[in-house]
Structure 1
Amino acid sequence: MLTTYTVDNGALLVREGPHDVEALRRAIWIDLLTPTQEEERMVQAALRLEIPTREEMQEIESSSRLYKEDDAFFLTAPFLYGMDGGEMGSTAITFVLAHNTLATVRYATPKAFAVFSARCHRTPAALLNSPDGVMLHLFEQIVDRLADNLERIAADMDRASQSVFRSAKAKVKATRKDADLRDVLITLGQVGEVTTRAIETLLGLSRILTFLTAEKATAVRKENQTLIKSLVRDVRSLVEHANFLNSKANFLLDAVLGIINVEQSAIIKTFTVASVALMPPTLIASIYGMNFERMPELQWDLGYPMALLLMIVSALLPIVYFKRKGWL
């Protein structure tokens, strides 16, 4: 889908679908979402440059993601999407910064794009003043969205950790405790995935900003250069926070696995004591189950109750011994 954003006398004009070349050249922002070959050809003809293919966007070399051709800058980075929909992932998005137009090429829709588009309808003059300004304000929206996501998963992790430690201290049913531990493990897995993908997005943004800083004389207008410094600080702080959350998640994961090991050890200890306590009675029963012709005890009137009593005593003695040792 091809969408253009054009500011005319302070009013925003948003148009979707086929465009002529002149309309594309007047647009301040061209947004290509899963573009067709025809849409790519129209944009390439209007901007007089080549739009990278999806396969080219997936390449991981820095020279393939950040480069300059003539007066246009091609900036590609992975971005987190799908936090609200439940199908989270990372998608490569390319920003083509030409002299008068910004073109974005993407195959998924991060929430920041939809939010930024809505903001453009409210204040088009402030956000769509120049192609580099559009890109930097869009980066700001992406960073704000990442910060919100990190805050949310941090709150989820705190609630999960409090729940599991509360269950570990309290005497609750085993089924309830198992459910709490399972929920915490799921939450920690989500935290690890989100923080990893968020760090990937932030590192991609950091590389783009570093590249723009080196080329800011030609890539960014003077009035927008302060935005780069602000974005660099925000990205750096979010990377540190995401790393902190990742470390905290690993610590909680170790703690939860430790609690699970303690629970399993207690269960194994119970079975061990039971097996040891049943060994002497089993030995006695095995002896009197042998088919020898001469076994004097078989002729006793009290042989059967004596054998039962002997088995009971032999089972209780190990239990008493374990209790005296503090093993139970």
Structure 2
Amino acid sequence: MLTTYTLAEGRVLSQDGLLPPESLRQAVWIDLLNPTPEEERAVQGALRLEVPTREEMQEIESSSRLYREDDVLFLTANFLYGVEGGEYGSTAITFVLASQSLVTVRYQTPRAFAVFALRCQKNPGLVASPDGVMLHLFEQIVDRLADILERVGSDMDRASSAAFRSARSSIKANKRDADLREALITLGQVGEVTTRASETLLGLTRILTFVGAEKATAVRKENQALIKTLVRDVRSLVDHAGFLNNKANFLLDAVLGILNVEQNNIIKTFTVASVALMPPTLIASIYGMNFEYMPELKQGWGYPAALALMVVSALLPILYFRRKGWL
């Protein structure tokens, strides 16, 4: 899908589909979502630049993700998407910054792109220049990441509070296990989201560093202050994401420790029960043997004496465990 954003008479004109080369050259922002070969050829022919393929976008070395060809910057990074629907992941997005146009190539739709497209309609100044579009889009991505980190931080706090409250309470074991399992799942998701958010922030840091080195020719003077603001915001989010990730790992270890304690208590109960039943089982086995000469079997007191002996032999280990504090 090819979408163009053109600034005309103080308004933003958004058009979908293939357009004539002249219309493509007039567009400030060309957004390629899952582009077809025809759309790629149309953009390449109109702007006379090479659009990276999906395979090239997946390469991880910096020289393949951040480079310059003549006056065109090619910037690629992984971005978090799909957090709202729970089907989250990371996708590579390429920003091709030319003097007259910005081309974005992507195969998923992070929420920031949809929000920014709506903002452009209300504030045409956001698409006044290609570098301004890119920097304002980065600004929207950073704002979105801040909201995501704030939300997962709240989810983590609620999950940890529920887990510790459940561990201290005297509710039924199955309800407590369900609460701990839910906390474990939530903390795992928080760790995954913060890790992918950190990956996005790392990619933004590399892009901003590269653009900052090229800003004299790639970024207009009125937009250069945005780079410093974005770098400062990204650094603060990197620190916050690292804090959340460390906290998630700590709480994950704590919840796993609580589960281990619960399992140990169950195993201890079965161990004590088995040890307490061993002496009575031994006594019953002795008197269940078919020997001809066992005088106790012919005595009137033999049966109650055997029962009493089994009860006493079962109580003695339990009393011993209680005295040791194991019960």
Same fold, TM-score > 0.5, yes or no: yes
1:239 to partner: Cα distance: 0.7
Q: 1:16-38, CA deviations, whole angstroms, 9 ceiling, x for partnerless residues?
A: 01100000000000000000000
Deviates more, 1:19-28 or 1:284-293: 284-293
CA distance in 2, matches of 1:70, 1:40: 20
Alignment match, 2:270: 271
Q: 1:193-222, CA deviations, whole angstroms, 9 ceiling, x for partnerless residues?
A: 100100000000000000011111111111
Could you tell me which runs of 5 or more consecutive residues in structure 1 were left unpaired when the two chains were aligned. Answer: none
CA distance in 1, matches of 2:265, 2:85: 41
Q: Within the alignment, does 1:153 sit opposite 2:155 as a pair?
A: no
CA distance in 1, matches of 2:36, 2:257: 53
| 2:5 aligned counterpart, secondary structure | strand
Letter aligned with residue 296 of structure 1: P
Q: Within the alignment, does 1:6 sit opposite 2:6 as a pair?
A: yes
| 2:165 aligned counterpart, secondary structure | helix
CA distance in 2, matches of 1:53, 1:327: 65
1:293 to partner: Cα distance: 1.6
After superposition, residues 92-107 of structure 1 pair within 5 angstroms as 92-107=92-107
Could you tell me which runs of 5 or more consecutive residues in structure 2 were left unpaired when the two chains were aligned. Answer: none
Letter aligned with residue 175 of structure 1: N
CA distance in 1, matches of 2:243, 2:184: 18
Alignment match, 1:173: 172
Q: 1:264-309, CA deviations, whole angstroms, 9 ceiling, x for partnerless residues?
A: 1111111111111111101101111112121111111221111111
CA distance in 1, matches of 2:129, 2:311: 90
CA distance in 2, matches of 1:17, 1:256: 52
CA distance in 1, matches of 2:300, 2:162: 61
CA distance in 1, matches of 2:215, 2:18: 33
After superposition, residues 187-202 of structure 1 pair within 5 angstroms as 187-202=186-201
1:317 to partner: Cα distance: 1.2
Deviates more, 1:21-30 or 1:258-267: 258-267
| 1:99 aligned counterpart, secondary structure | coil
Alignment match, 2:68: 68
CA distance in 2, matches of 1:322, 1:195: 46
Alignment match, 2:296: 297
CA distance in 1, matches of 2:174, 2:324: 30
CA distance in 2, matches of 1:321, 1:205: 64
After superposition, residues 63-142 of structure 1 pair within 5 angstroms as 63-124=63-124, 126-142=125-141
Letter aligned with residue 139 of structure 1: F
For normalisation by structure 1, the TM-score amounts to 0.98
User: Structure 1 segments of 4 or more deviating over 2 A?
Assistant: none
Alignment match, 2:206: 207
Q: Within the alignment, does 1:216 sit opposite 2:215 as a pair?
A: yes
CA distance in 2, matches of 1:169, 1:66: 52
CA distance in 2, matches of 1:82, 1:298: 77
CA distance in 2, matches of 1:151, 1:143: 12
| 1:77 aligned counterpart, secondary structure | strand
Letter aligned with residue 306 of structure 1: A
Letter aligned with residue 26 of structure 1: Q
